[in-house]
Structure 1
Amino acid sequence: MKIIIAGAGEVGFHLAKLLSYESQEITLIDINKESLSYADNHLDIKVIKGDATSISILKEANVNQIDLLIAVTASETTNITACVLAKQLGAKRTIARISNTEFIQNKDEVGFTELGIDELISPESLAAAEINLLLNKSAFNDSYEFEEGALTMVGLTLAKTASFVGKTVKEAAELFNEIHFVPIAIQRFGTQFTIIPRGDTEFKEGDNVVFITSEGGGEELCKMTGKSNAEIKNVMVLGGSKIGYKTSRDLCTKNFNVKLIEKDKDIAFDLADELEKVLVINGDGRNVDLLDEESIADMDAFISVTGNSETNIMSCLVAKSKGVKKTIALVENMDYFELSQSIGIDTLINKKLLAANNIFRYIRKGEVVAMTKLNNMNAELLEFKVKQTSKINNKYIKDADFPRSAIIGGVIRDGKGYIALGDFKIQKGDNVVVCCLPRSIKRVEKIFL
């Protein structure tokens, strides 16, 4: 695909890096010379210095020939304008990064598609939604829902007490009469290799395992692994950023008790005015005495979303030492994901990764409904819509020419999720959730074309 990315900031650079690895034809536009220079020296892409809202700059980037324009500058106005201009100049599809979530909520009413913007994404909203989902699935360190929970991806680390440690996938499945979950990816403790499990794959202590679950599967996994999906009611949020604001606001609507700590006095007062049901505290969340005064030991969850990754990590570690059951830290450095298991924080989230996941489904071939990259694993989870022309249509899974480095996790049919094994017959209209390693993506895409 020919793709223009407007904005060489953290999201734009990360997208450009991921897409360049896949041999996509990328042009990166930014007014910042230093950002472009770094991208030009580290990535195999074309760079253009200039304003993405300039018609001459867009023409220089051959906008009339591109398949997709992704506008992810820090300016919401720039992103919207660039998309509108690009569509008028011949771009096939456009995506704009925005911060005002009202735009997403009223997308159809305003008619953004008619204006020339095919999709709106908000990294901050995606991060807030991810936090909400993780609090509702408190036993797990990673989670993602397909079709409003018809199927759910959950990740957890196997303790020695887990009932299926030492057993193969096939043996573990036999512990339940009716299966409501299936493992789709395993990372062995202390390694960076991702395994797509088969029936003879053995579960080991310390494995980081990702499962697809249908209704009831989460409870079965908790029972088998000795983990508890404890109710979370009292939440402390550190940082009054856009993510902190959105998270606190959303949690209050679901009747959570929320305390929000913000260091900046003016921001704290503004937040207190806007978030009537949130107890806003003006103070430094790195101060352990302050956390103790605010009864951190009584919290069920601690979420740190300041602009500093190290502050977020350290404050979560303090919360863990005080007995908080669930900790979530926002980090900007992708390398920190490798530390999440060993340092003791339940979940690390990254805006760049969430935005990239949301955008990537527009790059994949076949009708991709949803997509996510697995945290700290070299694998993708894709939801394909089965068409009449798809090679897998009207075939049993066992008869499909599926690569060994990919696995079907489940099927959604008429809104209901199924854990689909070899004798399950795929039909037109099904949504099929597939986990695959990078080397098998093109082959999997062809099956669903």
Structure 2
Amino acid sequence: MKIIIAGAGEVGFHLAKLLSYESQEITLIDPDKERIAYADAHLDIRVVRGDATSISILKEARVGICDLFIAVTSSETTNITVSALAKQLGAKQTIARISNTEFIHHKEELGFDRFGVDELISPEALAAAEIELSLKQSSFNDTYEFESGALTMVGLTLSRSALFVGKSVKEAAEIFPELHFVPIAMQRFGTQFTIIPRGDTKFERGDNVVFITSEGGAEELCRLTGKVNREIKNVMILGGSQIGYKAARDLCKKKFNLKLVEQNKEHAFYIADLLPDVLVVHGDGRNVDLLDEENISDMDAYIAVTENSETNIMSCLVAKSKGVKKTIALVENMDYFELSQSVGIDTLINKKLLAANNIFRYIRKGEVVAMTKLSNLNAELLEFEVKSSSAVCNKLIKNIDFPRSAIVGGVIRDGVGMIALGNFKIQEGDRVVVCCLLQSIKRVEKLFL
């Protein structure tokens, strides 16, 4: 695909980096000389220095023949404008990054597609939604919902108390035949290799395992692994950034008891006016005495979403030391993922990764409805809609020529999620969730064309 990205900031650069790995034809536009020079030196892509709102710059980037135009500058006005321009100049599909989530909620009413913007994304809103889901599934490290929870992906580290440690997948299935979950990916303790589990794959203590669960499966998984899915009610948020504000606003609607700590006095008063049901504390969240004064040990969850990754990580570790059961940290540096999870932070959120996941489904072949990359694992989770022409249609799963590095996690039929094993027959209209290693994605895509 020919893809143009306007904006070489954190999200734009990360997208260009990931898409270049996919052997896509990428052009990156940005007016900043240093950003463009850095991207040109570190990525195998074409760069164009200039303002993306310039018609001549768009034409220099060959917008007329591009398949996908992605506008992810820091200005939502610029993103909407250049997406509309790109569409008029011949771009087949356009995506604009926005910060005002009202645009997303009223997308159909406002008719963005009529003036050239096909899709809107907000990394901040995606992060706030990820926080809410993580609190709902409090005992798991990673979570992702398909079709509003018809199927849910959950990740956890197996402890000694897990009842199926030491058993193979097949043995566990025979002992617990009525369960509503299935393992789809795992990483052995101390290794970097991702395994797609088969019947003879053994569960070992310390494994980082990703499961797909249907309704009731998360509770069963908690029971068998010794985890406790505690109800979370009292939440402290560090940082009144866009993510902190959006998370506080959304959690308020779900009747959580919230405290928000913001260092900037003027901004703290501003948030307090906007969110009267949130207790806003002006102070430095890195100050342990302040956290003690605000009874951090009484909190069920602690969410650190300042603009500084190191502050978020360290404050979450302080919260853990004070007995907080669930900690969530926003991190910008992808290299921190493995490090911070190994020292005890429950859930890590990265805006760039969330935005990339949301955009990647537009470059995948087949009817991809949703997708996510698994944190720390070299694998993707894709939801395909089955067409009558798809190679998998009207076939039993065991008779489909799936690569060994891919596995069907579940199927959603008429809005109901089901764990699909070998004798399950896939039908037209089904939504099939597949986990696959990166090297097998192209083969899997062909099955759903």
- TM-score, with structure 2 as normaliser: 0.99
- Secondary structure of residue in 1 paired with 2:175: coil
**RMSD of the alignment, in Å?**
0.6
- 1:97 lines up with 2:97 in the alignment: yes
Query: CA offset at residue 339 of structure 1?
Result: 1.3
Please list, as runs of the form range in 1=range in 2, the aligned pairs for 1:33-182 lying within 5 A after superposition. 33-182=33-182
Please list, as runs of the form range in 1=range in 2, the aligned pairs for 1:240-319 lying within 5 A after superposition. 240-319=240-319
After superposition, give the CA deviation of every residue in 1:307-365 in whole Å (9 maximum; x if it has no partner).
00000000000000000000000000000111133110001110000000000000100
The separation in 2 between residues aligned to 1:78 and 1:17, in whole angstroms, is 22
Contact 2:367 2:384 in 1 (8 A): yes
Residue type of the partner of 1:381? L
Structure 2, unaligned stretches of length 5 or more?
none
Contact 2:371 2:381 in 1 (8 A): yes
- Secondary structure of residue in 2 paired with 1:334: coil
Contact 1:186 1:194 in 2 (8 A): yes
Contact 2:313 2:340 in 1 (8 A): no
Query: CA offset at residue 170 of structure 1?
Result: 1.0
Contact 1:340 1:347 in 2 (8 A): no
Contact 1:410 1:434 in 2 (8 A): yes
4+ long deviations beyond 3 Å: none
Residue type of the partner of 1:305? V
Contact 1:72 1:97 in 2 (8 A): yes
Residue type of the partner of 1:412? I
- TM-score, with structure 1 as normaliser: 0.99
Identity among equivalent positions (%) equals 78
Match of 1:360 in 2: 360
Match of 1:328 in 2: 328
Match of 2:203 in 1: 203
- 1:396 lines up with 2:396 in the alignment: yes
The separation in 2 between residues aligned to 1:218 and 1:339, in whole angstroms, is 26
Residue type of the partner of 1:362? Y
Query: CA offset at residue 172 of structure 1?
Result: 1.4
- Secondary structure of residue in 2 paired with 1:432: strand
Please list, as runs of the form range in 1=range in 2, the aligned pairs for 1:433-444 lying within 5 A after superposition. 433-444=433-444
Contact 1:179 1:419 in 2 (8 A): no
Match of 1:214 in 2: 214
Structure 1, unaligned stretches of length 5 or more?
none
- Secondary structure of residue in 2 paired with 1:219: helix
After superposition, give the CA deviation of every residue in 1:78-128 in whole Å (9 maximum; x if it has no partner).
100010000001100000000000100110000001111110000000000
- Secondary structure of residue in 2 paired with 1:174: helix
Residue type of the partner of 2:49? K
- Secondary structure of residue in 1 paired with 2:377: coil
- Secondary structure of residue in 2 paired with 1:178: coil
- Secondary structure of residue in 1 paired with 2:428: coil
The separation in 2 between residues aligned to 1:175 and 1:253, in whole angstroms, is 42
Match of 2:30 in 1: 30
Which stretch of the first structure deviates more once superposed, 422-431 or 340-349? 340-349
- Secondary structure of residue in 1 paired with 2:335: helix
Match of 1:4 in 2: 4
The separation in 2 between residues aligned to 1:182 and 1:419, in whole angstroms, is 7
- Secondary structure of residue in 2 paired with 1:411: strand
Residue type of the partner of 1:296? I
How many residues are aligned here? 449
